[in-house]
Chain A
């Protein structure tokens, strides 16, 4: 994590569903302003970990410290609103593209001013602003979801397989917007993906998750070129390790 101040720190974080341990992470720190990628096969617990980081679930054990404060149980709505997620499958509201993007501002009692139009331009959907969101293509829908998340200016943006099942054109667009958001605006980004190439393209630091546990975390270059754990080397090479 180099010299970044951590925005998240977790200690012995565990999440169980019906007696099955889905997440079992000893220690994880995510630096403010970094782009961190979590790779691993599906079912490794990556998405659950993201939901924990978005305060959508409470840990069965352990705690999450967000900006130096333990969030277990007592989390103000203002703090919660600093973090948002773009999920793999975008669920849009039955409304126009513009209204979808403005949704988060409305929740905060803010007016949908020029920011919405600006964001629509940024994701290349200005021309479709008045179209019903339900009629868009998969890639366009995901861009609406991304715009809807970015317009509220989150401190932390969590991305849960944001480009799985999308065509290369949309993948490229989305990756570029995400990169710009991190580099130019300093938004902390945690990306969950099973695609090691995407992690390589985007992240400064990468972690591998297997059956609920974090196997290894390292700077991107070290992670991909000189991993400590043989399982990481195998996963990066695309050899099955699970």
Chain B
């Protein structure tokens, strides 16, 4: 208990001391996760919306795949991306292994099913009578789709926030494909693992507090968006 409280105060000190190494870790975390989130949103939202709106027969199967994907263990994704990017792998020529690009790739794979699966659920959750209603008011096909997406917007925001929470906090994939190289691929989660192993508890706690803070800010932002409704 003593360790924890002492660690906590040292952590606060560290956070406010503007330690450049610490900030580098924070910024890399945000950069990797931010980019991964951006790409998975750009692909995942349209895919989820299309699936939610369509009545294709294959949707049942695709839904199962997406929902399975939502529960993918990050470490397995890391292994897969590692094999793809390793020198003898099909994408080895890219030279991405142990770089932030590899970490972004792995996080996209983790975040995409979350974004698209939850977007699909949000779109399906819109009252089906709404489409008939807006068509009756004179909506074209495109305007009808837009109306459904607008109604689902809170669910889409929740999907993106859930994906953010999922990838900012995962450690297995970034550890495997990034390698936790100091000043290059060390992010918040991998740094926590390292510092815990080496007994640098206060640093580990500081990083944990920051990680929690980021998740907190993301959720506050989402709640505020929902509160505006």
The chain A residues found within 8 Å of chain B, CB to CB, are: 51, 54, 56, 77, 80-81, 83-85, 87, 89-91, 93-94, 103-104, 107-108, 132, 148-149, 152
Contacts and interface: CB of A to CB of B under 8 A. Distances in A.
B43 interface: no
Contacts of B133: 87, 90-91
Interface string B176-197: 0000000000000000000000
21 contacts: A56-B135, A77-B140, A83-B136, A84-B136, A84-B137, A85-B136, A87-B133, A87-B136, A90-B133, A91-B129, A91-B133, A93-B147, A93-B151, A94-B150, A94-B154, A103-B134, A103-B137, A104-B138, A107-B140, A132-B229, A152-B137
Task: Report whether over half of chain B's contact residues are helix, strand or loop; otherwise say mixed.
Answer: helix
B13 interface: no
A108 B138 contact: yes
Contact of A107 (B130, B139, B154, B229): B139
Contacts of B151: 93-94
B143 interface: yes
A22 B143 CA distance: 30
A14 B151 CA distance: 34
A152 B135 contact: no
B132, B134, B138 — which one has the most chain A CB atoms within 10 A of its CB?
B138
Contacts, number: 49
Contacts of B150: 93-94
A84 B137 CA distance: 6
B143 A107 contact: yes
Contacts of B138: 77, 80-81, 84, 104, 107-108, 152
Interface string B206-223: 000000000000000000
Given A93-B151, A94-B229, A132-B229, A107 B137 contact: yes
B127 interface: yes
A58 to B, nearest CB: 13
Contacts of A85: 136
Interface of B: 127, 129-130, 132-140, 143, 147, 150-151, 153-154, 229
A94, A104, A108, A149 — which one has the most chain B CB atoms within 10 A of its CB?
A94
Nearest to B135: A56
A51, A77, A80, A91 — which one has the most chain B CB atoms within 10 A of its CB?
A91
A2 B81 CA distance: 77
A54 B140 CA distance: 14
A148 B139 CA distance: 13
Contacts of A89: 129
A93 B127 CA distance: 10
Contacts of A149: 137
A171 B138 CA distance: 26
A81 B143 CA distance: 13
A124 B51 CA distance: 41
B127, B137, B139, B147 — which one has the most chain A CB atoms within 10 A of its CB?
B137
B225 to A, nearest CB: 12
Given A89-B129, A107-B139, A152-B137, 5 more contacts: A80-B138, A84-B136, A87-B133, A87-B136, A94-B153
A132 B150 CA distance: 15
Contacts of B139: 107
Nearest to B152: A94
A56 B136 contact: yes
Contacts of A103: 134, 137
Contacts of A51: 132
A91 B137 contact: no
Nearest to A83: B136
B129 A54 contact: no
A85 B140 CA distance: 16
Contacts of B135: 56
Contacts of A152: 137-138
Given A93-B147, A93-B150, A87 B140 contact: no
Contacts of A108: 138
